[in-house]
Structure 1
Amino acid sequence: MRAVRLTVTAAATVAALTAITACTAKSEAKDGDAIQVTAADSQCDTSAKSVPAGQVTLQIENKGSKATEVEILFPDDRIVSEKENIGPGTKYTLTAEVKAGSYEIACRPGMKGHGVRQQLTVTGGSAAKRDPKLDTAVADYRRYAQDQADETVPRVEAFAKAIKDGDLEAAKKAYATSRIGWERTEPVAESFGDIDPKVDVRADGLEQGQKWTGWHRLEKALWEDKKIGDEEKTLADQLVTDLKDWQERVGKAEITPTSMANGAKELLDEVATGKVTGEEDRYSHTDLVDFKGNVEGAQKAYELLKPVATKNDAALTTELDQQFSALNTLLDKYRTDPSQYDFVSYDKVTEDQRKELSDKVNALAEPLSKLAATVVK
C-alpha cells in the first residue's frame, strides 16, 4: 500500500505551483549525468531541468525531518518510477528509462499529498540500443501483470459475495487470498495513481476529507467490528468495481526494464515497512499472505530480467538467487498448509521471529537495489 495521491483542489493546485517555484533548476544534464535531487520538508531542489532521453539517474538525498517519496511523473500523474520511504539523512539512487517529453520530479515529504514538484523536460535523441532480451522480459512481465489482475477479480467477487450474503466467516476466509494478485504486482497498479487509494489504503494513510474504502475498511468491519451492514455491502460492490477498473487499465501501464527492477525493490520495501511490522493487515493478521505475494512478485520481475543481469553482473545474480532462496525458505516455515496460501496468524509471530524475517528482507533488498542499474549497463 503506497501513500495516497488524490485529485488536487484549486487551493491545493495554487499551493503546489507555489512550491514548484521554490524549487531550483540549475542546468541541462548531459547524457549519462545524474540529476542531484535534494529533498526536504518543503523543498525539492534539482540540479537540472532537462535531460536527454534514455537512462535517467536521480541521486537523491533527504535533508528533511520526515521520510519522503521521490517520483518521476507523467503530466497526468502516472508514475514513471519512484522510491518511497527515503528516511531523513539518507540517500538513494533511482535509475529509470524515460522517453522524450514533459515530466515532473516530485518530492512528497511524509509521503502524502501533492508534494513539491520540479518540471523536467526530456529531450529527443538516440536512446541507447538495448538488448532484445529486455524487450522479451517486458512483454512477459506485462502478460504476468494482466494474468494477476484477471485472477484477482473473481477472487474479489467471491469475497464481495460472502459479504453481501452476510456470511462473516466466509468473508474472512476469502479476504487474504483475494489480495494475492494485487500484492504480486502492486507497483504496476500504483503507477496509475488513483486506484491504490481506493482499494488498499489504511486508516492512517487517509488524506483529509477522503472516504475510507477498499480492502482494509472491510477488514476492520470483519475482524474488529465483527459485523456486516448495508455500508459494508456497498463497499464490497465498490471494491469489485475499482478492481475491474484496474484490470482494464493494466495493459496500458508504462513498463520498462528499469520499472520492473525498481518495482521489485518497491515490493521488498512494502514488506519491510508494512508486513514485517504487522501494520498492513492489523485486524486480520494475515500479513504473511501479503508478504509472500510481494516476494513472489519481486522474484518474478527479477527472474525475467535475470538473463541480461547475469551477463552484466553474474556475481549480483548469484547473490540474488541465494537471498531469494533464503527468504522463501524462512517464509515456508510459517505455512500451515504447504500446498495452500495458508500461513500462521501474524500476531502469533514473536518479536525475535519478526526480527529474523526483517533481517532476511534487508539482506535481499540491498542487492536488489542494484538490479535496475545493472540491466541497463
Structure 2
Amino acid sequence: MRAARLSVVTAVATAAALTAVTGCTEKSSAEGDDRVIEVTATDTACETSKKEISAGHVELAIENKGSKVTEVYVLFPDDRVVTERENIGPGTKQKVTAEVKAGDYKIACKPGMKGAGIRQALKVTGAGAAAQRDPRLDKAVAAYRAYAQAQADETLPKVETFVKAVKAGDVAAAKKAYAPSRIGWERTEPVAESFGDIDPKVDVREDGLEPGQKWTGWHRLEKALWKDGKIGTAEKALADQLITDLKDWQSRVGKAEITPTSMANGAKELLDEVATGKVTGEEERYSHTDLVDFKANVEGAQQSYDLLKPVAQENDKALTAELDKQFAALNTLLDDYRADKNSYDFTSYDKVADADRKKLSDAVNALAEPLSKLAAAVAK
C-alpha cells in the first residue's frame, strides 16, 4: 500500500489512464495530438483538456501545479480503478498511456493523496482502436489474468497458516508466517488496488488511514506481533477478518479489467511501491521484512514486462534492451541479501546500512525510468 508521501522516483514519468473528474474546471483542448488529454492539478482544482474522446489508446499528460503531492485516478462509475498514478510531486509532469473502451468514466485528482478527490466526467465514444488489438497482446492479457488468479489462489493457504498461528496465540509462528503470506499480494497489487475497497482493508499502514477508518489487515497484526509482542482477542478477530477480505479479493481477480497498457502501467506502479515503502523501510516498519515485499514487487513487474516484451521489442528494441539490463541488475543486487537465490529468507531491513539502501534506491530509479515508457511502446 502506498503512503501519501513523495517517492524517490516521484519525478519519473509513469502510470495510468483516462477519464474524468467531477468538480474540476475544463480548459481548452491542447494543441496537437487529439489522443492527448491534459490534466493540470492544483491543491484545489483539476483541469482537463477534454470531456469526450473516442475509444482506444490515449495519453494522459499530467502536470501538478499545486504545493501538495497528488495522484490521478481513472475510475469507472462505481469507483473501480481503471488505472492510477500516485506520488506526483509539486512542479512535476508525467505522461501515461492507457486504453479505454466506450463508456462513462471519471478522472479523479487527489491533492495530498487523500479523500475522494476532485472529479469530472469523461465520455468515451465508439469502438475505437481497442477492437483492433494485436492478438499477441490478447494472449498476454489472458496469461497475466491467469497469473494474477494463481497468485491469489496460492496466497490463501499461506494466509490461513498465518491466521492459525495468530488465533493460537503463537507469536513466534505468526511472525514466521507473516512475510510469506504477503508475497502473492505484493506481486499483483495493482490488480487488487483496482477494486478500490479491498486494499484499504488488508494493506493500509497506520499513517495511511482516512478519518474514521478502522485499522485492519496485515499491518495492524504486524504491529501487534513485533511492537506489542502479544496477541489478544481483538487481534484474533482481525485475523479472521483478514481471511474474509482476502477471499473477497480472490473471488474478484477473474473479473478485473486488464489491458496491455494497464499491465505496463501496473508494472511501473509496483516499482513505485518499492520506492515509497520498501526502500524507505516504511512498509514493514515493525517486522523489517521489506526485502521480501521488494522482491515480490519486482517479480510482479517483471511478469507483466515478460508477457508484453514480444510486442514491445518489435516496437522499441532499445527500450527492451535497457529493461532487460536494469531488471537483471536489480535482481542481482537483491540476491546479495539472501543466502539462497530460490528462497525468500532475506536480510532484515533494519540491518541494511544507509549506503546499501541508497544503492537499492538507485537501482529502482534506473529501472523505473525505462519502465515508465513500456505502455507507450506496447500501444504503438
* Global fold match (TM > 0.5): yes
Q: Is the 8 A contact 1:27 1:50 kept in 2?
A: no
Q: 2:42 aligned to 6, 29, 40, which one?
A: 40
* 1:20 partner SS: coil
| Structure 1, gaps ≥5 residues long | 5-18
Instruction: Calculate the TM-score normalised by the size of structure 1.
Output: 0.94
How far apart, in 1, do the equivalents of 2:23 and 2:295 lie?
43
Q: Distance in 1 between matches of 2:332 and 2:67?
A: 37
Per the alignment, residue 91 of structure 2 pairs with: 89
- For each residue in 1:333-361, what CA deviation from the matched residue of structure 2 results, as whole angstroms up to 9, or x when unmatched? 00143331110000000110000000000
Counterpart residue type for residue 77 of structure 1:
D
Displacement of 1:36? 0.7
What residue in structure 2 maps to residue 10 of structure 1?
none
- Give the Cα separation in 2 of the matches to 1:143 and 1:203: 32
Match of 2:277 in 1: 274
Distance 1:310 1:209 in 2: 48
Residues 286-325 of structure 1 correspond to what in structure 2 (within 5 A)? 286-325=289-328
Q: Distance in 2 between matches of 1:51 and 1:126?
A: 10
Q: Does 1:108 align with 2:78?
A: no
TM-score of the two chains, using structure 2 as the length reference: 0.93
Deviation at 1:118, TM superposition (A): 1.3
Residue 124 of structure 1: aligned partner: 126
1:20 and 1:131, CA in 2 relative to 1: closer, same or farther beyond 3 A? closer
For residue 212 of structure 1, what is the amino acid of its counterpart?
W
Match of 1:178 in 2: 181
How many residues align structurally? 363
Partner of 1:158: 161
User: What is the one-letter code of the residue matched to 2:122?
Assistant: L
Question: Cα–Cα, structure 1 residues 121 and 257, in superposed 2: closer, same or farther, change >3 Å?
Answer: same
2:16 aligned residue: none
Aligned-residue offset at 1:23:
2.1
Stretches of structure 2 lacking an aligned partner (at least 5 in a row): 5-20
Q: Which residue of 2 aligns with 1:72?
A: 74
Question: RCO (CA 8 Å, sep 6+): is it higher in 1 or 2?
Answer: 2
Q: Which amino acid in 2 is paired with 1:43?
A: A
Any conservation in 2 of the 1:23–1:117 contact (CA below 8 Å)? no
Deviation at 1:126, TM superposition (A): 3.1
Structure 2 Cα separation of the partners of residues 276 and 32 of structure 1: 39
**Of 235, 254, 259, the match for 1:256:** 259
The secondary structure found in structure 1 opposite 2:67 is coil
TM superposition shift of 1:24: 1.9
For 1:303 and 1:32, locate their aligned partners in 2 and report how far apart those are by CA, in whole Å.
31
CA contact (8 A) 2:337 2:346 kept: yes
Q: 1:159–1:178: 8 Å Cα contact kept in structure 2?
A: yes
Alignment correspondent of 1:283: 286
How far, CA to CA, are the matches of 1:299 and 1:111 in structure 2?
27
Label 1:209 to 1:374 Cα distance change in 2 as closer, same or farther (>3 A): same
Code of the aligned partner of 1:97: E
After superposition, the C-alpha distances for 1:210-252 in whole angstroms (9 at most, x for unaligned) are 0000000000000000000000000000000000000000000
Cα offset, 1:271, TM superposition = 0.2
Q: Which amino acid aligns with 2:369?
A: E
Q: Distance in 1 between matches of 2:36 and 2:169?
A: 55
The alpha carbon displacement at 1:3 in A equals 5.7
1:33 offset after TM fit, Å?
Answer: 2.5
Query: What does residue range 213-252 of structure 1 map to in structure 2 within 5 Å?
Result: 213-252=216-255
C-alpha contact (below 8 Å) 1:286/1:343 kept by paired residues? yes
Specify the alignment match of 1:57 in structure 2: 59
CA distance in 2, matches of 1:327, 1:47: 38
| Percent identity (aligned) | 74
1:22/1:259 Cα in 2 relative to 1: closer, same or farther (>3 Å)? closer
Other structure's SS at 1:103 match: strand
Partner of 2:347: 344
Q: Tell me by how many angstroms 1:25 deviates.
A: 5.0
Q: Which moved more, 1:296-305 or 1:115-124?
A: 115-124
